[in-house]
Structure formats: C-alpha cells, structure tokens
Amino acid sequence: MTVRRVERSSVYRPEPLMEENPARRENRAAGWHRFHIGDHEATVVSDGRLRPGPPEQQFPEVPKEAIFEILRKNFLPTDGLIMEQNCLVLRTARDVVLFDSGIGVDKEFGCDESGRMADNMRAAGIDPREITSVVLTHAHCDHCWGLTDATGERNFPNAEICIARGEYEFWTDERRLSEGGFQATFIAGARRSLLPYRDRLRFVSDEAEVVPGITAVSSPGHSFAHTSYIISSDGYDALLVGDVVHSTALLFENPDWGFSYDFDPILAAKTRRRILDRAVSEDLTLIGFHFPYPGVGRVRREGEAFAYVPAPIVHK
C-alpha cells in the first residue's frame, strides 16, 4: 500500500478562497438588522460608514489630548472618527417609513464604505417603491443626499418627504449659495436631493403627529431646525435622535462639547441635554443615526453627564 503524502496547501488554502469570495474581499459590515417597536416592524438599513477625518478637527474647542484619552479608553482609533449611517425603515399597519436617506453615491463627503443603502435594502427584502414617507431629521449631506441617484432621479418614487419647514427653507435657499464653504456645497446637494420631491413635501411641527405612531420633537442646534421623532406602539416608545448626539464615546460623557458642523453649538449642547434627559425620565430606547451599528440602545445618567448602553442583539 502506498501512502500518499497530502500537501498541506491542497487541503488548506485560505488566500485563494478569500479571493473567490467577494464579500470577504470587500470586508463588508453587516447591512441590516430587524427588531420590533411594539407592533411596528423596525429595520435598520445601513448606508455604510463615514470617515469624517481627524477627531480634533471635529471638536475644535476641546484639547486634543482630552479627545484622544476618551477614544483610547473606548478602544477606538485616534487618527479618524468612524460614523455609521443607520437608516431606519419602520413598517406600521398603514405606512412604510424611512428615516433619513444616508449620503448615497457622493464620494466627496462619503467614502468607499458608504453608499450601500440600495444594496442593503434589497438584502433586507425592502423595495424602495414601498416607502410611503421619508421622514428627515435634517438636510445635511449624510441625511438627505441619498434621496436621489447619480442621475438626479428619485430613489423613492412613491414617497412624500416629511421635514421641518425651517430646515427645508434653510438648505434649499439658493441666495445662500454665494456664502461659500461647506454650507454652499451642502445647499447645492440639498437642492439636488430635495427639489425633485418639491410637489410631495409635508412639513412637520413640534409635538405633532407625522403619521400614526410617529411624533415630531423639535431639536434644533446641530442644524437650523433639526427634528427628532418619538416612535410609539402598544406601550413601547423609542426616540430617534438623529444627530442630537452622534459620537457615543465622546458626547454622552461630554454633552456640552460643540461639533464643527453644528449650526449653533451652544444650542446643540442645550438640546442634547434636554433630549437625553427626556429619554432617561421617559425610559425611551434610543435609535442613533451615527451610533455604532445598528445604533439601538439606552441611556442612563452618570453624574452630571450620561452613559450609552447598546441594546443586545436578539437572534430569533
């Protein structure tokens, strides 16, 4: 009998296998996560990650070492913030509501890891034509530029857009294009994304119902008329905060820090404390657009500040 020597490489070849598997090659993060808020089916659909650059540039009033110390104790890199884009699709008895669109195909403020909403929606079994309302927290690039595709066509052809009137008027005002800087780029992008829906706009107002089960909560500061939303069903309540708080590592512990893209950093900090206080006292689940994926968790008071606790992911 001849014993045939088995070459190690013939039974264990990790590199060629990885090459053959595009999902491994692209190092993709998980794309969607489903849970329930009472009777509503909720699906977080990711538009991928953003990398907004060095953290010290994002918080210009804060000493660099103070930022780095917190990032290090949270085991996060100090050379660049990572921000997820957790878009929520809520299926109620009557509506299919998308909260914020993600940045879409743009690569100036986006990156190779963003622009994944369409693929992830398909993977989650959601047809963009099913969306009846897109409810916006605000009109910054990462929240509304995904409303249209590269050719300017609507990605959600059957949806109305729900947004605060002040926010819509601020970001679509062409007279302010001449102001330059990131504001001008944001205005051009908001006009490109929102104007194709101009005949199907509905303005939301503070503490008023947007659609059954969803109530607007005015939360200005990060942007001119930023709005958060309470989602309620069968005694369960969640608070979709938008960008009232984005870095869970930095801003729960330091709710008074100003962020470089805040419209009014002092008002943003005041609003952050008011909204987080409400979440604690009303025992609300938080859904955060930029929180670590999938962005669902709770908040507790910690001294004069707050602490974020991600919700466990339940596998059924």
The site for Zn ion (CB under 5 A) is made up of 142, 243
Q: How far is CA 117 from CA 12, 81, 87, 128, 145, in A?
A: 35, 21, 8, 10, 12
End-to-end CA distance of the chain: 52
Q: How far is the CB of 83 from Zn ion (least distance, A)?
A: 7
Q: How far apart are CA 198 and CA 210, in angstroms?
A: 18
Write down the residue that tokens 């987080």 correspond to: 276
For Zn ion, the closer of residues 139 and 299 by Cβ is 139
Q: Are 278 and 286 a contacting pair, CB within 8 Å?
A: no
For Zn ion, the closer of residues 92 and 239 by Cβ is 239
Q: How far apart are CA 247 and CA 180, in angstroms?
A: 27
For Zn ion, the closer of residues 62 and 144 by Cβ is 144
Q: How far is the CB of 37 from Zn ion (least distance, A)?
A: 22
Q: How far is the CB of 218 from Zn ion (least distance, A)?
A: 17
CA 56 from chain centre, in angstroms, equals 21
Alpha carbon dihedral 232, 42, 290, 122, in 10-degree steps, equals: -150
Q: Residue 310: CB partners within 8 Å, gap ≥ 6?
A: 291, 292, 296, 297
For Zn ion, the closer of residues 84 and 243 by Cβ is 243
Q: Are 286 and 292 a contacting pair, CB within 8 Å?
A: no
Q: How far is the CB of 242 from Zn ion (least distance, A)?
A: 7
Write down the residue that tokens 């938080």 correspond to: 286
Using DSSP's 3-state secondary structure scheme, residue 188 falls into helix
Q: Which helix (H) or strand (E) holds 230?
A: strand 227-233
- Per DSSP, 148 falls in state B
Q: How far is the CB of 137 from Zn ion (least distance, A)?
A: 8
Q: How far is the CB of 142 from Zn ion (least distance, A)?
A: 4
For Zn ion, the closer of residues 32 and 145 by Cβ is 145
For Zn ion, the closer of residues 40 and 161 by Cβ is 161
For Zn ion, the closer of residues 142 and 167 by Cβ is 142
Q: Residue 65: CB partners within 8 Å, gap ≥ 6?
A: none
Q: How far is the CB of 173 from Zn ion (least distance, A)?
A: 20
